[in-house]
Structure 1
Amino acid sequence: MDTQSLPNIHAFLQTLGAYSGKVIKPLKDFGVGATHKRALSFGLFAPLAQEILERAKVTQGIILHPFFFEDTHNIYRYEIGTESGVSALLGLECESLAEFVAELDIGYIVNESSLCDEEVTHIQDFVRSGGALILGRDLYLHTQSVFIAQILGSVAKERNIEIFMQDLSHPYETSTAIDIRDSLDCAILEELPENNGAFAYVCLESEMPEAFGAKQSAMQELFAPESFKAILKIKTQGVYPIKLMSAMDTQSVENKEYQVSFCPAIRGTIGCLSKAQVLQYPFVRILAP
């Protein structure tokens, strides 16, 4: 994808590069010419992350993402919208973040992000040992994307972690350097979003897992877990009017007909649909009829 058509990604990359002091590499370069035994994927569609880790033969991989897909392994599912809190949990043991971390309510962040203590410990083990950090578009499309980039860049710099980024066509490098102590705002983490109910994750058409069994059709298809039967008040799959609202922008509402197809591999309360472009935070709330 041409990053010129993705204005949100530029501020994220600039901040990430400035704080990490590293060249940010395209996701397509992960596993090419180098072997990574350890990798953590964050904010990348879980089935796609699983495919990438398996293809690169990563032996110790962690996937951080809310989507619940039964074939995905070693996935830690956080609450939709809490990526800013999860990024802070990655930096708990970094010396450069010590003053920032001291002011945080860690218990609140862990609870609101829906991660358990054991998962946070495993995340810290990864940061301590280093490896590759794979970042998805959920992060640069988040309302707190710059804050997230500040923390992740600082972690990558201190722990010498390589960074790979989705939707990046060429390596990115900046000559700017920033002192993290001058710019992090703890207040961002004082109230993390609560996103209960049913959602759909919007991915690109090329990223739709084969396991979902997508069909060539003029009607857009919403792949749904069984839980959607009760939520949408329907008994069988078919064409239904569905109202979608952005998880980050309550003013952004879309109402149209979708082919609802139940997919046994999808669990929980998050379905999936695809579009030609993804220019907003990919999670959309499904409003009950």
Structure 2
Amino acid sequence: MSIRIATPARSPLFCDVALAARIEGAEAGLIAGWSTTAGRRLGDAAGFVRPIAGGVASFAEADSPLNKVAGLGFDGVPSTSELDEVENAFAARGAAVQVELAHLVEEPIGALLTERGYRLVSFENVLGLALAAAGEPRRAALEGVEVRPSGAGELDHWVEVVADAVAIPDTQGVPSYEEFPREVIVNAMRDLAGASGLVRYAALRDGVLAGGASMRMSAGVAQFTGAATAPAHRRRGIQSALLTARLADAAAAGCDIAVVTTQPGSRSQHNVQRSGFDLLYTRAILVKEF
């Protein structure tokens, strides 16, 4: 008797260290550019952006989602003096140090950080889709729903809708470790809109602005930098419409991979996996309090 093993129609995207380094490099670039934009808005020297071991340490303002160390460890192990300088810079501003560390980092940086007093507080997942293997992306066609680039003239409205949607999360899976005041979210969304290479999208349902999303393209990597739908318009396919619009634009621009970060087990992760994204790696969130 012969046994036949069925093969999947599409092989999952495999993420090696080189691909993870490329994605984490794009993430570090995003945080650096975003934080620099925040610094221009604030017009003072309170914040900082500094490179460290292939990543970036960033502080924008109190309680900002940009206060973190991202992309660490793909260019060697940070030295004791480098970590001292970063920790002192955060401590001087009354902030904890938050490190988002990819589990594909080759060096034992996690052990080094825990020895310095960092504790594990959460995880987040990075998912990706190889655009060439996915074929030509098709935009979702939904009656009454339109997705288009968001112009400068509607920035205020876009920020308000996204901020309100973020404030009422569509919860499922592991809760987010982070919570931010609405004013901080509004500031961050404005700063994101001004970051280099950022494209904003508006989703309208029956002519009403119902949600928004954004994407950044860098060195062939399309980073899906957030999407949110107003509570009154959820379960109408708007998230899928925003996702497919960005996939189509990323492919047309020549990107070879699209990436998104989600909370483990969340509805967002469920939605993107149904659209063909594969789980690539996990980031550990480590925090040192002062």
Using the size of structure 1 for normalisation, the TM-score is 0.27
- Quick check: which one's strand share is greater? 2
